[in-house]
């Protein structure tokens, strides 16, 4: 029961940490350090699996593999939240860029495009009525 509470608190803490510190340099360094610690812990668990089982028993989990599974679930949640936040920020940057380009290249009604000659504009065509390609004899579209 205590492990469930700790895992839930860790998940909430990861989300809160990542949402509040996503742009700070310390957060980026913390993520890198956490990743290195995670890798070293994984290597240690591979080398000495009995220690992982002992640690799992100390915190109330039956097997070391279950503890490893819980840790991997938390790591996956962290990566998922991280990816979501990064893509959301990237989408916002693209939207701001598109707005800036649109405003920079905006043309007022009645003005011509900058750099366009008056002779390069295509002549206005008649509206499409859908009857240009129909044979008068049978009403079927022609080729």
For residue 56, the tally of other CB atoms under 10 A from its CB is 19
Please list, in sequence order, all residues whose beta carbon lies within 8 angstroms of the beta carbon of residue 135, skipping any fewer than 6 positions away: 141, 142
Per-residue tens of pLDDT for the chain, all 143 residues = 677 677 677 767 766 776 676 666 566 777 777 777 887 887 888 888 899 999 999 989 999 989 989 989 988 988 888 888 889 889 999 999 999 999 998 888 887 776 665 565 555 555 555 555 555 555 555 54
Q: Cβ(9)–Cβ(3) under 8 Å?
A: no
Rounded Cα distance, 75 and 5, in Å: 17
Q: What is the mean pLDDT of the chain?
A: 76
Tokens of 40: 């070293």
Phi, psi of 61, rounded to the nearest 5 degrees: -110, 140
Phi, psi of 54, rounded to the nearest 5 degrees: -60, -45
Residue 49 bridge partners (DSSP): none
Q: Cβ(91)–Cβ(107) under 8 Å?
A: no
Q: Cβ(70)–Cβ(7) under 8 Å?
A: yes
pTM exceeds 0.85: no
Supply the pLDDT for residue 54.
Answer: 94
């Amino acid at each position: 029961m205590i492990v469930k509470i700790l895992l839930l608190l860790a998940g909430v803490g990861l989300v809160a940490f990542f949402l509040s510190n996503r742009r700070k340099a310390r957060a980026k360094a913390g993520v890198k350090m956490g990743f290195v610690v995670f890798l070293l812990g994984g290597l240690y668990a591979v080398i000495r699996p009995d220690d992982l089982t002992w640690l799992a028993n100390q915190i109330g989990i039956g097997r070391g593999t279950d503890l490893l599974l819980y840790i991997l679930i938390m790591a996956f949640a962290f990566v998922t939240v991280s990816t979501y936040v990064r893509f959301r920020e990237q989408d916002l940057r693209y939207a701001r860029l598109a707005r800036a380009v649109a405003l920079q290249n905006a043309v007022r009604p009645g003005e011509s495009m900058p750099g366009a000659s008056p002779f390069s504009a295509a002549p206005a065509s008649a509206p499409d009525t859908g009857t240009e390609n129909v044979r008068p004899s049978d009403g079927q579209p022609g080729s």
